[in-house]
């Protein structure tokens, strides 16, 4: 039996000339909201690690990243609502809190972003399979963003490899990372 809420939802969706978003797509997007909030949490944990090492510039970079990831989560949150889907929030797993060096942190950042990219590509594949052109179009922004996220993490990772045990160079990089601002 179709309930009143479903009839209204169908009327709204068809009234706009757009096919309703599938439950499967909504669920996949809800899981991505969770992954983005987990990313934010992981970067905040890295910020706390750098604060404890008195590397304030690195900590600043991570705090900006935390804000960016929350922004990603909210973008998906708003999109699901716009498509008359139901946002569901899942629990956030505890992030790692200790690393052996700044180099290890950025290896973690880079690998994490590669994994996020893989997840975004899976969402794209699902949207394509479902011929959900609105979601496909929405995801284009994330494809571009992931290219930037991976490149930014890799750049710092490569610098840290060059720096190795040179403490003075590490302090210089810390100064550079202190300039990053949330935009």
DSSP one-letter code for 48: H
Nearer residue to ligand FEO within complex by CB, 65 or 160: 65
Residue with tokens 């708003």: 78
Among 92, 78, 81, 117, which residue's Cα sits nearest to residue 31? 92
What would the DSSP string read from start to end of 75-103? HHHHHHHHTT----PPPPPPPP---SSHH
**Residue 6 CB, nearest approach to ligand FEO (Å):** 32
Cα(126)–Cα(67) distance, integer angstroms:
27
Size of the site for ligand FEO (CB under 6 A): 7
Cα(93)–Cα(101) distance, integer angstroms:
23
Nearer residue to ligand FEO within complex by CB, 116 or 123: 116
Cα(22)–Cα(126) distance, integer angstroms:
10
**Residue 65 CB, nearest approach to ligand FEO (Å):** 7
Q: Is residue 32 involved in binding ligand FEO (CB under 6 A)?
A: no
What Rg do the C-alpha atoms of the chain give, in angstroms? 20
Q: Is residue 113 involved in binding ligand FEO (CB under 6 A)?
A: yes
Binders in 63-92 for ligand FEO, by CB under 6 A? 69, 72
**Residue 117 CB, nearest approach to ligand FEO (Å):** 8
Q: Is residue 116 involved in binding ligand FEO (CB under 6 A)?
A: yes
Q: Is residue 132 involved in binding ligand FEO (CB under 6 A)?
A: no
Q: From the list 39, 45, 60, 135, which residue makes contact with ligand FEO (rule: CB under 6 A)?
A: 39
For ligand FEO, the binding residues (CB under 6 A) are 36, 39, 69, 72, 113, 116, 149
């Amino acid at each position: 039996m179709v309930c009143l809420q479903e009839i209204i939802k169908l009327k709204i969706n068809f009234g706009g000339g757009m096919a309703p978003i599938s439950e499967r797509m909504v669920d996949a997007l809800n899981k991505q909201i969770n992954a983005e909030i987990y990313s934010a949490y992981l970067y905040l944990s890295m910020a706390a690690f750098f604060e404890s090492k008195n590397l304030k510039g690195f900590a600043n970079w991570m705090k900006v990243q935390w804000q960016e990831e929350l922004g990603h989560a909210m973008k998906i949150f708003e999109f699901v609502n716009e498509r008359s889907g139901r946002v569901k929030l899942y629990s956030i797993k505890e992030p790692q809190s200790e690393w052996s060096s700044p180099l290890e942190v950025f290896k973690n950042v880079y690998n994490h972003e590669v994994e996020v990219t893989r997840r975004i590509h899976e969402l794209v594949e699902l949207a394509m399979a479902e011929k959900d052109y609105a979601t496909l179009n929405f995801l284009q922004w994330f494809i571009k963003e992931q290219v930037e996220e991976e490149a930014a993490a890799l750049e710092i990772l490569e610098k840290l490899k060059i720096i190795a045990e040179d403490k003075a160079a590490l302090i210089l990089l810390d100064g550079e990372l202190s300039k990053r601002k949330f935009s």
